[in-house]
Amino acid sequence: MKPLSSTGFALFGAALIAISFGLARFAFGLFVPPIRDELELSASVIGIIGSLPLISFLLATLVAPFAADHLGARNAAVLSGTFGVAGLALISQSNSALMLGAGVFACGICTGLMMPALTAAMQALVRRSLHGRVSSVMNAGTSIGVVVAVPTVLFLTGAWRLAYISFAVLAAIGVIAAWFLLPSVSRIMPANAAPPPPVNELPWSRLIRLSLFAFLMGFVSAAYWIFAPDLVVTLGGLSSGVTGWLWFAVGVAGLGGAVVADLADRNNPPITHALMLMMLAASLALLAASPGQPLLAAFSALVFGLAYMSLTGLYLMTGIRLLPGRLSVGPVLPFMAVSVGQATGSPVVGMLVHAFDYANAFAMLAALGILVAILSPFYPGYIAQAEEEEGDEDTGLQAAYDYQLQDEEGEPLHPEADIVEEAEEAEAEAAAEEAAAAEAEEEASATSGDADSAQPEASTDEADAKKAPSASAQPSSDEEAGGSQRTTDKGSS
């Protein structure tokens, strides 16, 4: 089968991320109200169950790079999808908290294995100069998956089992497609690439600060991901179907998160981090203050989606930059910290809801988010491996990927395949420019030739025009004779 193009791989990767992250992980909170009512679960139990996929995600993430290296991208993605199918099917058939917990635990394994598998496939299929763009498209799959889950709530209100069966079918289709479309090899490491810096030379202070901020953001965001739909149903009195619009707003706003994160890396990461974290806290406070107002609740979801996806994108770029040469660890470290925070925060929020109520619990988490935002000046600021006085270094997600492989001088390593392809593209562009110039020259010469030939014709016409009046003023003798003859005949008659 013909290998996927860069665009095709980006779209296919986004589809797999939509299934593994959007449907298998983040869609669970959307179905908490009907699941809790049917299985008669308390808020504390829901909080514990909500932490299980985050724990399994963390465990799977620890082994995912080794799985991608030893199994290959195709087998790792198929293994991830298989866990997703099993977990979604278990959730659809759950009749107890234990079975439900097993299902969401399996879904967390699916989520943890998928991104490293796709990253390995990307390095084998996609030019390095396109890694940033392809990665951004794939990361958008999370928001797409959240949006896809919305129609199931709107049209299958209360039918959460049927919804999860449909998710399992989609995951099975993804497994089959991954088997046929992804390469069997893992990532390709050029022989002339410099080895990554030793562990003792890593910027540990920055890595620790990044992990702490990611952990606290995950802790605060757990309240929204797990309990926001249940809050508007329990406290606001809205129907379960209306909660689908919350997740729709989260998904749509999340699509802009990659753009905000890229701009943050280009400008001032600490300031952007503080702003996005304040927005995250404001979304919790707004939802707790007006759970019975659908428009305000939807607006809070928009704010939350943009803030959450922007922060995760910023953490992704920071992790990649701080760990050059360790692409299997750089993006994973901040996501592990976010998952630990969410796994810790989910049961804590459940206990706070049980001890107080939804409004007070969400207000406490919002206050914590504001406090963390105030501490954002300690975020690992300009995320270069070495500070430069000129400050003219490249920024953004693509620049972070460019510095993953370096030569002995610490400059980005351009593989021979990319150099050849870039040279061919340059030659093709030069040939096209030469052809265009030649065509323009031919048109110019043709135009000048027409002008030269038109000039003598014009002079001839002018000469004929000058002669024409004298010829008409002096008729020939034949015409005069004919005229007199016609007059004579007419007169005789």
CATH code, domain with 118? 1.20.1250.20
Q: Does residue 33 sit within a domain?
A: yes
Q: Which of 157, 187, 217 is the last residue of a domain?
A: 187
Same structural domain for residues 25 and 173?
Answer: yes
What's residue 384's pLDDT? 42
Same structural domain for residues 74 and 154?
Answer: yes
Q: Does residue 479 sit within a domain?
A: no
Q: Does residue 391 sit within a domain?
A: no
Q: Does residue 444 sit within a domain?
A: yes
Same structural domain for residues 96 and 225?
Answer: no
Total domains in the chain come to 3
Same structural domain for residues 246 and 111?
Answer: no
Q: In terms of pTM, does the model score above 0.85?
A: no
Q: Does residue 465 sit within a domain?
A: no
Q: Which of 248, 229, 249, 228 is nearest to 239 (CA)?
A: 229
Same structural domain for residues 250 and 176?
Answer: no
Same structural domain for residues 427 and 400?
Answer: no
Same structural domain for residues 218 and 278?
Answer: yes
| Mean pLDDT, contiguous 10-residue spans, the chain (493 residues) | 79 91 83 86 86 88 84 91 95 92 94 88 79 79 82 73 92 94 69 58 82 94 88 80 79 78 70 92 92 88 91 84 70 84 89 88 94 92 44 54 57 51 63 78 70 52 49 44 41 38
Same structural domain for residues 173 and 33?
Answer: yes
What's residue 304's pLDDT? 94
Same structural domain for residues 216 and 102?
Answer: no
Same structural domain for residues 419 and 370?
Answer: no
Same structural domain for residues 172 and 247?
Answer: no
Burial-class residue 232 by CB neighbours within 10 Å (0-12, 13-18, 19+).
buried
Same structural domain for residues 217 and 361?
Answer: yes
Give the range of the structural domain holding residue 436, as residue numbers without chain letter.
415-450
Q: Does residue 389 sit within a domain?
A: no
Q: Does residue 467 sit within a domain?
A: no
Q: Does residue 272 sit within a domain?
A: yes
